[in-house]
Structure 1
């Protein structure tokens, strides 16, 4: 069988196709570049791509590593193929360049010795250079979470864009850290040296069924969790509300259900214990829930001088204040 991964038009408006041909056993996948040349199709073999890329041997055997056509040059295809490296047989990305007449092709590996599979590459139209290519990296057990495969597909989105790196320590910029129980009955105010760049870290728990209230006040803002059963938190300055688009909930109960595509809805569960991180730098405020970005919006001219725990039925088990913005990787590293 054949699967079409992508179809674009070249400068002459002729169709160019990225295609995989899968044998009858579904254990061997071959990548092809296919192009219409005014009077015929020209099919150029690119590479064998192994079998299915994921870790589950008995399902979805037609799931190839994936292909994408360079939107700026349809003679270039990026493909995910298995390569032997220092972590074993791992799917890496290879750039295939096909001659205009399809008579030959060259191959250039662009990811190396990856700790996990690089799959499903995608070329982004309108961009050039490293930012024009993105892909998934990580483990992939199933496209649906169930008790048979509760891991699902814990993957990240990667690019070849080089990001600046620097050494740091989680104690750098720490102004205040205290383990305590700040509740409505024990309201705390903490004064800090004024700073225009900051991070607040709160470990929150809600022992009762009533999750909500004003959690913390800082820099003229209040972080609020509405008391509704399924609510979206928001920040307010008393005039405008900056509302999250995400429910404060998780869908972990899918892990206890049979694998099915019957459309049955499993209700999400409201979070009772989580880490809230709020950062501010250069006019952008961000919030994170358990290490994942929840909100990001522009907000000019705020300065942190004082932090006050608000009227909440929950408990702030730990509160930390930094005079710098913690990056997401640092947030995930917090103890």
Structure 2
């Protein structure tokens, strides 16, 4: 039985220990970490623990990775304590809660929605875009129309708590994202560091059949300009899956992820022989190289899972964490390494 309070939070040394299992030679990078765990699911940030456990119910019963990642990220989408994802997410500067999400399966099929209002589970709408339309992405009013026609219920997503935070923000209208605030708290409990936050859950899964899928969903940056869309719903930026190689997802300031087509880059680096962590590190390094001054003031992190079940992550700033779930451990939280 899983203990709700039982996590393992590993520092840099802990990450190294986790990646030592089953090393095999690699001609380009020297080593390539391989995990004995299949199925496995990984997800960004602390709230990935509960999301992973929902995904694990699918995977542990022989289910498909695609079903697992959808089920998993629906958990934070529905959690009103989480002000960064789904219903309860903080609004834009005009008071609109707009949601972004994408999903991708082992066959390269993908679906996405952006700037979607009034629907609690954008990830499920994205899946229907993938499965029921000839398109990849629907946005705004068109995405809402499609969701309603598909049977989703129209809701007011602006919760009293989010509305209060927005009205407080309006007093100064200062837009300054806080690094790693998404990791300090995702709950309304009175805990240290429980300020507002803004970010993404990205989830990657490898099922018992050896197939990969991924999902990514967010309410975007708190108090963003109306109509702003970050990397989360963009295939290749916030998420990418190649069933021959691996999968990757991103978190943090989406504009910089888009500029580097980050998740696609990570997967292509793994194709070249990089381990998941090495690929994430290289992608982060390219952001820092292009914009060194900006990179020191923002957070961007990548999480990757390869075809062998090995996983890894890397971020610009300290404090990025991700959750791991497999047969031996269902509630593990790992602190990724960072450039700064």
TM-score (norm 1): 0.24
Which protein is bigger by CA-based radius of gyration? 1
Higher normalized helix content (fraction of residues): 2
TM-score (norm 2): 0.23
